Chain A
Amino acid sequence: MNRIEFMSELEKLLQDMPQEERSEALTFYFDYFNDAGEENEQKVIAELVSPQKVAATIKADVKGQDASSEYSENGYTDTRFEKKDAPMQRNAGAGNSRQANAWTSKPLKIVLIILIAIAACTVVWPVLAGVFGVAVALLFAAFGLFIGLVIGSIALMITGFVIFIVGLTKIAVALPVALLTSGSGILIFILGLIATVASIKLCMVVYPAMIRGIVNLIRRPIYGKADKKEEG
């Protein structure tokens, strides 16, 4: 970067300032480069750091008369800029305190829930017990239904097998009847077999789903909804 590039960049950056302030500042730095001489041009540019920094310094002072800037061994530091430089640190602090709040409020929540439960005892417990009883009954009914399907299918299979055997015993007496009986026996057996396999498959799908549903239902009031989301 040379002085012409530096000055045109600075001019661009000062465009939102009042005309007078802008031309004063540009005149100063124009003179400054002239007086420093060509041999010092790069040194001056290096010491000014960047057009952005120069523009920020000019604007900061025009906006407000200050006690907010200091000149230290590191050169000029504007405390207003320093604050902007360290937002991470402050955010981290705020985050910590938020977390601390959350931790203190959780036991409080639990205590409140217990108090409400005690207060509601007299009315809620009988109703709750009734609802619970119905739910358990429905649950067992569902379990029973599917187990029933399996048992029914197995029974069908056994019946088919028995008919097949009975048919075979009739072979010597009346061949056509025996063939018909044992044939239908085999047919029933196969139907039973298919039904058994299908109903066991159905149970394998339905029972885990039911158990998962129940577990979630129980977990929810204890761990909150967040846990449920994580599982899904």
Chain B
Amino acid sequence: MIFNTGAALLDAIVLAVVSREAEGTYGYKITQDVRKAIDVSESTLYPVLRRLQKDECLEVYDMQFDGRNRRYYKVTEKGMAQLNLYRVEWKNYSKKISELFEGGDAS
């Protein structure tokens, strides 16, 4: 992709990816899912998850899997509110850009 993904957009994408799993999801899967949409390096996602966790948009819990603990991430209520805000913002933003690109009404 030739367009840069800013920090806010990456937050929104991560929140959206995590919110799709009601029971929460784990680091490796989040990374793979995000990388289906945008090309980011693997080391990028941990700081984003950590930041969202500190901002209380994500909560973590450990669960037994395959004989070991695995850390799961889940979107909090605050996170859902934040995600909805992002969705509205993105809708407006992308609509305007699309209109410009596709030669819609300029006024």
Interface contact A71-B38, CB-CB below 8 Å: yes
Query: When the two chains form their complex, are residues B43 and A54 in contact, meaning their CB atoms are under 8 A apart?
Result: yes
- Return A90 CB to nearest CB of chain B, in Å: 23
Q: Mark B60-75, 1 if CB is under 8 A from A, else 0.
A: 0000001010110000
Q: Given the complex, which residues of B lie within 8 Å of A65, measured CB to CB? A: 51
Known pairs A31-B70, A48-B41, A76-B40; list 11 more (Cβ under 8 Å): A32-B28, A47-B41, A67-B6, A70-B4, A70-B6, A71-B5, A71-B38, A71-B44, A73-B1, A73-B3, A76-B44
Whether the Cβ atoms of B51 and A49 lie closer than 8 Å is no
Would you call A75 and B40 a contact (CB within 8 A)? yes
Indicate whether A200 reaches chain B with its CB closer than 8 angstroms.
Answer: no
Chain B, 61-100, contact with A by CB distance < 8 Å: what is the 0/1 string? Answer: 0000010101100000000000000000000000000000
Q: Whole-angstrom distance from the CB of A219 to the nearest CB of chain B?
A: 60
Flag if A31 contacts B4 (CB, 8 Å). no
Interface status of A25 (Cβ within 8 A of chain B): yes
Chain B residues with CB below 8 A from A44, complex form: 42
Which A residues touch B20, using CB under 8 A? none
Q: Is A57 an interface residue (CB 8 A)?
A: yes
B38 touching A35, Cβ below 8 Å: no
Determine whether the beta carbon of B43 is less than 8 Å from that of A72.
no
B2 proximal to A (CB < 8 A): yes
26 pairs, A vs B, C-beta closer than 8 Å:
A25-B50, A28-B27, A28-B49, A31-B28, A31-B70, A32-B27, A32-B42, A34-B70, A35-B70, A47-B41, A48-B42, A57-B44, A58-B47, A62-B50, A65-B51, A66-B7, A67-B6, A71-B5, A71-B10, A71-B40, A72-B5, A73-B4, A73-B39, A75-B39, A75-B41, A75-B44
Residues of A within 8 A of B7 (CB): 66-67, 69-71
Which B residues touch A34, using CB under 8 A?
66, 68, 70
Query: Of A32, A54, A66, A70, which contacts B31 at CB under 8 A?
Result: A32
